[in-house]
Amino acid sequence: MKRKEPKQTVAFRLDKELLILLHAKAKELEVSPSICARILLTEALLGQSSLLEEIREIEERQLRHERQLKTATVALLVDAGKASVEDAEAFVRENLS
pLDDT attached to residue 32: 92
Identify the DSSP state of 4: P
Torsion region of 81: left, alpha or beta (phi above 0 gives left; psi -120 to 50 gives alpha)? left
Give the mean model confidence (pLDDT) for residues 64-85.
Answer: 95
pLDDT attached to residue 1: 52
Identify the DSSP state of 83: S
Residue 19 has pLDDT above 60, yes or no: yes
Q: What is the per-residue pLDDT across 21-45, written as a single tens digit (0 to 9) for each?
A: 999 999 998 889 999 998 888 888 8
Residue 48 has pLDDT above 70, yes or no: no
First to last CA, the chain: 42
Residue 2's pLDDT band (boundaries 50, 70, 90)? Answer: low
CA atoms within 13 A on the CB side of 88: 17
Give the mean model confidence (pLDDT) for residues 44-54.
Answer: 73
